[in-house]
Amino acid sequence: MINLILFGPPGSGKGTQAKKLVEKYNLLHISTGDLFRYEMGNDTPLGKEAKSYIEKGELVPDSVTVGMLRNKVEANPDVAGYIFDGFPRTIPQSEALDALMEEKGTAVSQLIMLDVPDEEIVKRLLERGKTSGRKDDMDEGIIRNRIEVYKSETSPVFDFYQEKGKAKKVNGVGEIEQIFERLCSEIDALV
């Protein structure tokens, strides 16, 4: 199996690139943000709980996010691998993911970070907010909070996998196709 973590700040292009990668490598794309938005759209108890955090640009508690991720993985056992997008976002989530993969007889293959400067992120998210319908993309204050949360809670995940020799960084600025090529060279080096 190839199990990738597509990593990077909000608006770094994880979702866009994951969609292209699943076609090429035949992997299952799991975006925890999309799963939360689906639950919110259906006004489920999980959606209601997640909403209170998401609309402030904060993280949903680990136990909730990990439980939802586990359900999604277990509902799709017969795949060539997974692309985790927007997960793990904390060290406890990383530990839970490693344990889950081990339980399934596999492991995280690589974390690849899309590196994008803060000001570019703010610009991209405000632009996306014009059409995404996402409240958390429409308010500069919420966007800046998401960037702060990324720095304080999420960026240690990069070091966590780097210590295991499993973290790579690619330049996330440029044309979509160009960035896709950068990701593919990292992935092709794994297989």
Binding residues (CB under 6 A) for ligand C5P: these are: 10, 32-33, 36, 53-54, 57-60, 65, 86-87, 89, 136, 146
- We find the least distance from the C-beta atom of residue 103 to ligand C5P, in angstroms, to be 19
Binding flag, residue 128, Mg ion (CB under 5 A): no
Q: In sequence order, which residues have a C-beta less than 8 Å from that of residue 141 and are 6 or more positions away?
A: none
124 among known catalytic residues: no
Instruction: Tell me if residue 144 is catalytic.
Output: no
Residue with Cβ nearer ligand C5P (2 or 5): 5
Q: Minimum distance from CB of 53 to ligand C5P (Å)? A: 5
Give the residue from 117, 28, 111, 141 showing the smallest Cα distance to 76.
28
Q: How far is CA 140 from CA 33, 132, 172, in A?
A: 19, 15, 21
Binding at 10: pick from Mg ion, ligand C5P, none (beta carbon under 5-8 Å per type): ligand C5P
146 noted as active-site residue = yes
37 is catalytic: no
Angle 28-30-134 (CA atoms, 0-180°, nearest 5)?
135
Tell whether residue 81 is a contact of Mg ion (CB under 5 A). Answer: no
- Indicate the SS3 state at residue 44: coil
Contact of 142 with 57, CB cutoff 8 Å = yes
Considering only 15, 47, 61, 81, the residue that binds Mg ion (CB under 5 A) is 15
Catalytic annotation on 134?
A: yes
